[in-house]
Amino acid sequence: MSFCSEVKSELLNLRLSGCCLSAYSYGFMLFGRSFSIKRIALQTASEDVAKGYCNAIFTSYRIKPQITKGGSKRPTFVAEVTSEADRLKILAENDFGMNTELIDDTIFVRECCFGAFVRGAFLACGNINDPEKEYRLEFNVKLETIALELQALFLGVGISLKSTKLGKGLKLYTKDSAVIEDLLTLMGASKHTLTIMDTKIMKSVKNNINRARNCDSANISKTVEASIKQRTAIEFLERADRLESLPIELLEAANLRKANPDATLKELCRLSTTPLTVSGLNHRFAKIIEIYEEIKK
């Protein structure tokens, strides 16, 4: 199973709050192949995603879309609301009415609903690469107007995506692992957010080890090892929102390390704006690692 399929399968199996259901189906439909009175359909390579689309529509409207399988080499699944009366019902039951070229944000009753909407959108038109190979997450949006609106909605929650032309639409994408983590968290894929975080830490550790291997001096590799440990602890505390609440002298040491990931203790002391000794700084890092290990337990 590809990484993308794994993420989508996690998303498909999440429970939905009642308030989020309309936003989820709306995202799924709006970012599908077509969403208009003429056609409401999704085309996908994944049977599970096609079924998820049908389930969302059935739960929201008691309407059963039909799935047809096509494609000889690579199977494709088309899920479609075949009756015009049903399409009318779907379009009429919502405030967005007949204008399907804009995003109706009145559907986001609470904050969680926007996450559900993005989840639907990602299932319909999103893709994510295996983080082992490349950090990349994208939404392939058929219509430019909708893509721009989605981009603006993301900006509103502090997520910035780049865009590039894609036929009549736009591809919104990011290659930034931190933005990918934010997006996965927003959609509720917490399991895979952790996978990305782990991969990132492992990659940086591997890089550091390789860098250390290229040096003859065992001292340098010791410095690198110590720095990795410190940085892992600091990063963890930051993500757990515990960094800012550390005693000021520990926070200072953490910030110093963050700003100078590869520096030796001696160099860090020199870079510090307040006077510091190597053993004093070492002691502070030991304390930070101790707190990190305590919290991890």
For Zn ion, the closer CB: 17 or 145:
17
Among residues 4, 12, 14, 19, the one that binds Zn ion under rule CB under 5 A:
19
d(CA 107, CA 184): 21
What x-and-dash track marks residues 102-141 binding Zn ion by CB under 5 A?
--------x-xx----------------------------
Q: Are 57 and 46 in contact (CB under 8 A)?
A: no
Nearer to Zn ion, 23 or 224 (CB): 23
How far apart (Å, rounded) are the C-alpha atoms in residues 294 and 29?
46
Q: How many residues sit close enough to Zn ion to count as binding (CB under 5 A)? A: 6
Taking a C-beta distance cutoff of 8 angstroms, is the pair 290, 232 a contact? no
Smaller CB distance to Zn ion: residue 69 or 110?
Answer: 110
Minimum CB separation of residue 111 from Zn ion in Å reads 7
21 near Zn ion (CB under 5 A): no
- Selected binder of Zn ion within 7, 11, 16, 20 (CB under 5 A): 20
User: Residues near 164 by Cβ (< 8 Å), separated by ≥ 6?
Assistant: 170, 171, 173
Instruction: Write out the two tokens for 278.
Output: 């190597």
- Segment contacting Zn ion (CB under 5 A): 9-17, 39-47, 69-77, 166-174? 9-17
Q: Is 41 left (phi over 0), alpha (psi -120 to 50) or beta?
A: beta
Where do contacts with Zn ion occur on this chain (CB under 5 A)? 17, 19-20, 110, 112-113
